[in-house]
Amino acid sequence: MAHIVTTITIARAPAAVFEFVTTPSFWPSWHPSSESVAMSDGQAAEHPLRLGEQVREHIVASGLRDHVVWTVVEYDYPRRWVISGRAGSGASAILSYELQAHGTRTLFRRELDYKLRDNAGLGALDQFLIRWRAKHLARRTLLQLRALLERQ
């Protein structure tokens, strides 16, 4: 699996950051790959997801369209949140958020572990291009998140 870790400090309290980042309807506002998100029953995902809840996200990543079904596998408000995803293409991912108070700020840590479907060509492409693009996108994503939250 590829492993990408990104951190950023946000001038908001951990609870405010946690509630925002764990509410899927907000994802398209700060994550460039996220086109739309809905609960598994088609309803809007307008609340922080709790343990066992699922959402379906439509994404565009590295120029490819796909959908991912995410399931919350860990929920420790307001410190840690982990989701496990399976894409229509066969790829899988684990995404975790860790939040730590630093005075009036929050140290936000995002970890992404992903595995593309078993395919030798994709493995080579991941080593040389996809992973590089994913690292840069992760950094850009957190910069957009910070800008959005600090404007509020």
CATH number for the domain that contains residue 16: 3.30.530.20
Mean pLDDT of 7-12: 98
Q: How confident is the model at residue 120, as a pLDDT? A: 41
Residue 95 and residue 110 in contact, taking contact as beta carbons nearer than 8 Å: yes
Bridge-based pairing state of the strands 64-76 and 105-115: unpaired
CA–chain centroid gap for 104, Å, is 24
Range of the domain at 88: 2-151
Q: State the pLDDT confidence band at 130, using cuts at 50, 70 and 90.
A: low
Q: How many domains does the chain have?
A: 1
What does the pLDDT look like over 23-51, one tens digit per residue?
A: 999 999 999 999 999 998 888 899 999 99
Question: For residue 13, is pLDDT > 90?
Answer: yes
Q: Cite the beta strand spans of 103-150 per DSSP E.
A: 105-115
- The one-letter amino acid at 120: A
* CA 80 – CA 100 distance, rounded (Å): 9
SS3 149: helix
Q: What is the pLDDT of residues 63-117, one digit of tens each?
A: 779 999 999 999 999 999 999 999 998 889 999 999 999 999 999 999 999 887 6
DSSP lists the bridge partners of residue 33 as none
Three-state DSSP at 8 gives: strand
Q: List, for residues 92-104, the tens digit of each pLDDT value.
A: 999 999 999 999 9
User: Which pLDDT band, with edges at 50, 70 and 90, does 118 fall under?
Assistant: low
The DSSP secondary structure of 24-75, one letter per residue, reads GGGHHHH-TTEEEEEETTS-B--S---TT-EEEEEEEETTEEEEEEEEEEEE
